Structure 1
Amino acid sequence: MNIYFYEDKTAAQFDPISLTRPVHAIRCGQKSFVEWNIDQLPKDSHISLFVRKEMENISKEIYPEYSINPDNLEDGIWVLASAVLKREEWNDLIESKTPFFKNDKQVACFRTSDQAQKWLLNSESSMTVDSTVAQKITLQYSVPEYLWEILPLAHQLLNDEFVKNNFSKERDSLSLINEGNISIDETAEILPQVVLNATDGPIIIEKNVKIYPFTYIQGPAFVGEGSVISPHTQFKNSYCGPMCKLGGEVSKTIIQGYSNKVHDGHLGDSFLGEWVNLGAGTTNSNLKNNYQPVSISVNGTMVNTNTLFAGLYIGDHSKTAIGTQFNTGTIVGPACNIVTSGLPSKYIHPFTWFINGKHIKTRIEKFFKTMELSMKRRNQILSEATTELYKYIYDNR
């Protein structure tokens, strides 16, 4: 079966994380959106991804095994990149070809090659049909359209798909609460006086993770491969991808990967991209003093989040100085440096040095030098596709 995962106009609403990757690759807790789906598909499925033009080369780098924006289309299943289907929903879709909807928006359907080609020729249209059609199925999971809507889905997916690692290893002075809901890879190093509390949801500790003493982890939680958690850390209801360094208090937050929040300070109800570095004492507010819903500027439009809790949303390769404080519902684009004694603006454009209230455009040559050095520290190489994408952002944002 041919499976096509596509971005639509909501891709821009995942700003700033979607500026540097396709929506398919955004972390939804333990895995990315597309990884959750592919794990439910037959092994012989042929996977194609449709992405924004500027994401084409970086997508080929991230997903070399899949077709990216193919010219020749076959009959197949089309699924919105931010939609996650359960295995039984995939079976229904493949067998009956009945479309799936969420909030009257079609998010998964069968299309002939001719139907798909016509849709692709009209980039302003939506992969949709009349929502009043007799035969339709409501998708069970929510379909996020903004970053702050991802965490509840991440919690639900971790609870539904949790598989315990049966490996058992004696560990000194490790407190496990609701042990059946905890999975620890055999290569993980957990020092004494660590508490893992899985009462409210599963906890997964991946390969080569190191957790120092007096750390408290509260599920649902996921710690990605090679990450290090400093002493006295609180990591609650949060997810981090590979090779992160964590410390202080992290609560209800998703970290894409390869980022540092190693010092004291509060990070809550937030979403961090890759290669982010938060200086010592960096703290964000996640609740307004008047207990009103938080509004956030997304691509120049103020959006009511309809939630009381919303923190910091910071793009790839952005950094903060020591003692930085962020207001509730702040967005920082990729490639930024925040150096200020007061609260920064609530929206900071990509490639900005924010210095004590002044917005200064970053010099791209110096940025690339720093970018290359930071990636080398984790044995990663700055690729041509990444450089090309950041030049595009620099010129167009």
Structure 2
Amino acid sequence: MSIILFDNSQRKRLWPLTQTKAVAALRMGMLTMAERWEQLTGMQVFIHTEKYLQNLYGYAGADEHIWIDASVIPDKALVDLVQSLDKNDCWADEYGLIVGKTHLSFEDFDAAQSLQYFENIHDHAMVDRIQFPWDLIQWNDRILRFDFDVLTRGKTSAAISSTNRCIHAEHIFIESGAIVEHALLNASTGPIYIGKNAVVMEGSAIRGPFALGDHSVLKMNSRIYGATTLGPYCMGGGEIKNSIMMGYSNKAHDGYMGDAVIGEWCNWGAGTSNSNLKNTAGIVQVWSEAEKQYLPAGYKCGVIMGDYSRTAINSSINTGSVIGVSCNVFGEGLLPNIIPDFSWGCKGVKYKTDKALVDIDNWKKLKNQSLSEIEKQILITLSAK
């Protein structure tokens, strides 16, 4: 028996992040949704998503499995519920299925009709779900603290070098192989987690909560404010506040990134900055492709950037911007706040698919990887829309 995290029928609300990945692969706190459930339950986790994405994750065999809405944010009560489920029982709230156990063919599951597969449906109070991209940064503080406890419980941090200045060192955890020298680490505002083989260069100042993923780098004199997550193989620099970089992305130079969600394999050119607050101090409205309208995202929201997108040097990103998948972003003045998938610049020119694939592969080679055939087919599918 395994856990299967399924994308619910509203996954398109998380555009552009879920254009190229399942909801369960989104990173918030220190872990992806799938990694978090694995840590909490010790069970193998499979992912059920759109057909054009499914080959990224494989398939679960026919068996009795526990099906969980991938957008649900777990807590201890939900973990206890998962572990006490009876066969053919499920729990649902007003939004839909939360979790259920049944014997069902992986290929036959339909998220839009998910309750039909269970004999006994129990009512549950509303649970917290990630419904829109900006939810990730609005929940990141809470989840960073939660994940810190999960990942460090019963473990001992590597020694913190005496060259560092630490505040509340008991809330700082450094994994093996990490290098942190001549940095200011202030965990009085939240925990600080430095992943395996990560590097924090000299002069960096960090206020928690903060997570630096495995093999990631903070360049010299970086200024990091919580709640911020840099996933694995990222590079951070300049000023970053309350942002998430999913993984394999770079903001290596001066410039400001605030209240932003950045996908994988993205790059910010030197001097790129985003606004996260309107001059009127009003509610930021962000375009929802699923709803075909602007939606309120709170008083602070910078930019949501899809996978494989890049900005030119000194790009000025407007408040509440959405940048799609595989965009080469450049332009004078403040950039438009909606930049569609496969944009070349910001004036309606499409990034040619063949060139986009070559360029993405070039970027992946810089981190000793290459664009897989599965990824290519996903991008070709998106480009043809």
Q: TM-score, normalised by structure 1?
A: 0.87
Post-superposition offset of 1:167: 3.6
CA contact (8 A) 2:134 2:297 kept: no
Contact kept? 1:287, 1:309, Cα under 8 Å:
yes
- Residue 4 of structure 2 is matched in structure 1 by 4
Give 1:365's aligned residue: 354
1:287 corresponds to which of 277, 280, 285:
277
Contact 1:21 1:59 (C-alpha < 8 Å) held by counterparts: no
What residue number does 1:217 align with? 206
Show the counterpart of 2:40: 40
Question: What letter is aligned with 2:306?
Answer: G
Match of 1:336?
A: 327
Deviations 1:169-204 (A, max 9, x none): 252431111111110123111222x11111121110
User: What is the DSSP-based 3-state SS (H/G/I as helix, E as strand, rest coil) of the residue aligned with 2:363?
Assistant: helix
Q: In structure 2, what is the Cα distance between the partners aligned to 1:172 and 1:93?
A: 44
**Equivalent residues in 2 for 1:305-316, closer than 5 Å:** 305-316=296-307
Runs of 5+ consecutive residues of structure 1 not aligned to the other structure: 61-66
- Separation in 1, partners of 2:234, 2:219: 11
Shift of 1:317: 1.4
Gaps in structure 2 of 5+ consecutive residues? none
Is 1:344–1:354's contact at 8 Å kept on the other side of the alignment?
no
Report the identity percentage: 26
Give, as a single letter, the amino acid of the residue that structure 1 aligns with 2:377.
E
TM superposition shift of 1:114: 6.8
For residue 247 of structure 2, the aligned residue among 243, 253, 257 is 257
Whether the aligned pair in 2 keeps the contact of 1:256 and 1:273 (CA below 8 Å) is yes
Give the superposition deviation at 1:96: 4.5
**Structure 2 CA distance for aligned equivalents of residues 323 and 146 of structure 1:** 28
Q: 1:321 to 1:101 in 2, by over 3 A?
A: same
Q: Distance in 2 between matches of 1:321 and 1:230?
A: 19
1:327 matched residue in structure 2: 318
Q: Which residue is equivalent to 2:192?
A: 203
TM-score, normalised to structure 2's length?
0.90
Question: Which segment is superposed worse, 172-181 or 265-274?
Answer: 172-181
**Is the Cα–Cα contact under 8 Å of residues 37 and 84 in structure 1 kept in the other structure?**
no
Q: Any conservation in 2 of the 1:24–1:33 contact (CA below 8 Å)?
A: yes
Q: SS in structure 2 opposite 1:359?
A: coil
Matched letter for residue 153 of structure 1: W
Which amino acid in the other structure matches residue 326 of structure 2? A
Give how far 1:345 is off: 1.5
SS of the aligned residue for 1:272 comes to: strand
Aligned counterparts of 1:211 and 1:298: Cα–Cα separation in 2: 36
User: Structure 1: which amino acid aligns with 2:268?
Assistant: L
Q: Does 2:337 match 1:346? A: yes
Q: Which residue of 2 aligns with 1:394?
A: 383
Aligned to 2:237: 247
The residue aligned with 2:129 is 143
CA RMSD of aligned residues (A): 2.5
* Pair 172,297 (structure 1): closer, same or farther in 2 beyond 3 Å: same
Classify 1:90/1:337 alpha carbon distance in 2 versus 1 (closer, same or farther; 3 Å).
same
Q: Tell me by how many angstroms 1:302 deviates.
A: 2.2
- Map residues 123-138 of structure 1 onto 2, 5 A cutoff: 124-125=112-113, 127=115, 135-138=122-125
- Structure 1 residue 134: deviation in Å? 9.5
Q: 1:24 to 1:135 in 2, by over 3 A?
A: closer
The question of whether the paired residues in 2 share the 8 Å contact of 1:337 and 1:352 is answered with: yes
Distance change in 2, residues 1:207/1:76 (3 Å): closer
**Residues 1:23 and 2:23 aligned together:** yes
After superposition, the Cα gap between the structure-2 partners of 1:303 and 1:100, relative to the gap in structure 1 and judged at 3 Å, is farther
Distance, in Å, in 2 between the alignment partners of 1:374 and 1:380 is 9
Q: Give a deviation string over 1:250-287, Cα, whole Å, max 9, x none.
A: 10000011111011111000001111111111011111
Classify the secondary structure of the residue corresponding to 2:55.
helix
- Judged with a 3 Å threshold, the aligned counterparts in structure 2 of structure 1 residues 239 and 380 are, in CA distance, closer, same or farther, namely same
1-structure distance, mates of 2:381, 2:316: 30
Other-structure match for 1:64: none
Alpha-carbon distance change, 171 to 329 in structure 1, aligned in 2, over 3 angstroms = same
Shift of 1:374: 1.1
Letter in 2 for 1:57: N
Structure 1 CA distance for aligned equivalents of residues 42 and 332 of structure 2? 54
Distance 1:82 1:281, change over 3 A: same
